[in-house]
Amino acid sequence: MDSIYQSLVNIVDQDHVSNSQEELFIYSFDLGTAEPHRPDYVVSPGTTGHIQEILRLANREKIPVVPLGGGLSLAGLAVPLKGGIIIDLKRMDHIIEVNEKARYAVLECGVSQAQLTSYLEKNHPRLTHSEPGAPPTATIAGNIMIHGQGDLAQPYGFNSDLVNGLEVVLPTGEVCRLGSCAVGTGWFAYHPLPDINIFLGWYGTTGIITRLSIRLFPAKRIRGIGQFVVENEELVPEILFKLTHSQMAEDIIVYSRAIPPFASGLQHFTVNIAADSEKELEWKQEIIWDDTLGDYIRSGNGAYLGFTVGLERPQISKTSDYKKGGGFEYVGSIMPIEKYPVCYRKGREISEKHDIPYTVTGRVIGAGHAMMFAWTYAFNRADPDSMRHARDALHETDDLVMELGGIIWKPGIYGQQLILERLDPGTRELMKTIKNLLDPNGIMNPGNWEVD
């Protein structure tokens, strides 16, 4: 009997531990183009205590550990590059508390985006959270771990800026709390304690988030999407500047796609607007479409395509089926808004070079402080040549992001190396010190954010 396996069974139970080829096969894959790597064990813990014991065992035995949320980063961030134990966190999916008046929710790390959306709609219809355009199984914790953004990014910024508190199991098994919860009060604020945020963006290399508090926001009675289109991509930055100046939108996205062909080359804006009354909605629409964008419409440089009441939450993406092949991956970047035109043109060139219908998307973060710009590449999972083209396109796009002065968002191994090569030496040294201090045996998601 494998003693590690037996130890894991003793910690969790037999139903939620495996070293069988089937689990090792399935958990070796990312859903994107990353090369698979087999873990040695898969475990699905039910409690923070389970995770503590698993990490203590892994430290004793010097076994790599890879925490896994929804597994939807598409950048290979939870592929066990050096084997070891995959910890599937999705079984820890309790919504622990929603504080209506202070507008926050305390969640276990496995709570999915759709689960929280559904729970709030049913029990707290006046509250909402910033939901990313990811599949519904994406977890809240996983999304903040990668500095995700959601459909409230325009007024409120990155989802990781909306964290009120964390409970983290450190690599050596201790539990610590950050934010107001650390002093035994509610989970209502992240500040004003000394800042020790050394977990977000680290992909689990410094610890495993087991609980978190996130900010909730007013859910207006009417929510809907207005659409606007221009042909000239050079107009996009100034339009985004004007839209963010109006402060009337919940979410602003610009996209352009090769499919359908008639719309190829056009830049489509979707502007989410929320209101508690028809009067408020009418007022906001007037400010956006008439006052802010009216000149473009009157001059013929832009067209208003209408307003649809209702948001599709969670959003449904059919990108994976573009090539009837069950796969897509994208490079995301955090980029200044003025770079939109060149991002669009260069991305289109890369797609066309690899015979992939182009899809580019920019989401405004904050009051135009940045955008998340993404280049998406669909591939056919059954066609190695198609996967190779997508992988090449992704790497070329990683290079492009750095060349354009942006930062790759949730970079895979290739992108991480590009960033680390350019990273300030002092910052590199600090990262190395933090990592060595917290994870002396280097067991946590090894291969990611490794500073020599």
Partner 1 sequence: MSIAEFPFKDLIHRCFRCGYCKFPENWTDVNNCPPYARFRMETYSCGGRLWLTRAWLNDQIEWTEHLAEILYSCTTCRNCEIKCFLSFNVDIVNMVVAARAEMVETGRLPLAVKSFLENIELHGNPYGASRAKRGMWTAGMSIEQCNNHEYLLYVGCTGSYDTRAQESTKSLAQVLRKTKISFGILGAQENCDGNEVHKLGEAGLFELLAEGNIALFKSLGVWKIITLSPHAYNAFRNHYPQYGGDFVVFHYTQILRDLVKTGTMDFFRDFHARVTYHDPCFLGRWNGEYKAPREILENIPGIELVEMEKNRGSALCCGGGAGNFQIDLLGGSEDSPSRRRVREAAATGVNILAVACPKCLVMLEDAVKGEGLEEILSVRDISEILAEACGIPHGLC
Question: Where in 286-315 is the site for partner 1 (CB under 8 A)?
Answer: 314
Q: Which of 40, 56, 83, 93 binds partner 1 (CB under 8 A)?
A: 93
Selected range binding partner 1 among 84-92, 101-109, 206-214, 296-304, rule: CB under 8 A? 84-92
Residue 384: count of CB within 10 angstroms of its CB? 10
Report the distance separating Cα 418 and Cα 40, nearest Å: 29
Q: Which of 192, 260, 306, 316 binds partner 1 (CB under 8 A)?
A: 316
State the nearest-atom distance from the C-beta of 276 to partner 1, in Å.
Answer: 24
Question: Where in 326-385 is the site for partner 1 (CB under 8 A)?
Answer: 326-328, 380-382
> What type of residue is 9?
V
Transcribe 345-356 into DSSP letters. HHHHHHHHHTT-
Answer yes or no whether residue 117 interacts with partner 1 by CB under 8 A.
yes
Report the distance separating Cα 334 and Cα 407, nearest Å: 5
State the nearest-atom distance from the C-beta of 282 to partner 1, in Å.
Answer: 31
256 by DSSP, 3-state: which? strand
State the nearest-atom distance from the C-beta of 322 to partner 1, in Å.
Answer: 11
Residue 44: count of CB within 10 angstroms of its CB? 21
| Phi, psi angle pair for 68, to nearest 5° | -130, 125
Report the distance separating Cα 109 and Cα 2, nearest Å: 29
Selected range binding partner 1 among 116-124, 259-267, 291-299, 400-408, rule: CB under 8 A? 116-124
Nearer to partner 1, 293 or 311 (CB): 311
| Cis preceding-peptide flag for 425 (omega within 30 of 0) | no
Answer yes or no whether residue 320 interacts with partner 1 by CB under 8 A.
yes
Q: Which of 71, 171, 302, 362 binds partner 1 (CB under 8 A)?
A: 71
Answer yes or no whether residue 133 interacts with partner 1 by CB under 8 A.
no
| Phi, psi angle pair for 367, to nearest 5° | -80, 55
Q: Which of 7, 8, 12, 18 binds partner 1 (CB under 8 A)?
A: 18
Residue 61: count of CB within 10 angstroms of its CB? 14
SS3 letters across 15-38 = HHEECCHHHHHHCCCCCCCCCCCC
Answer yes or no whether residue 21 interacts with partner 1 by CB under 8 A.
yes
Are 206 and 439 in contact by the 8 Å Cβ rule? The answer is yes
Binding site for partner 1 (CB under 8 A): 15-16, 18, 20-23, 25-27, 29, 31, 42, 44, 70-72, 88, 90-91, 93, 112, 114-115, 117-119, 122, 135-137, 314, 316-318, 320-321, 324-328, 380-382
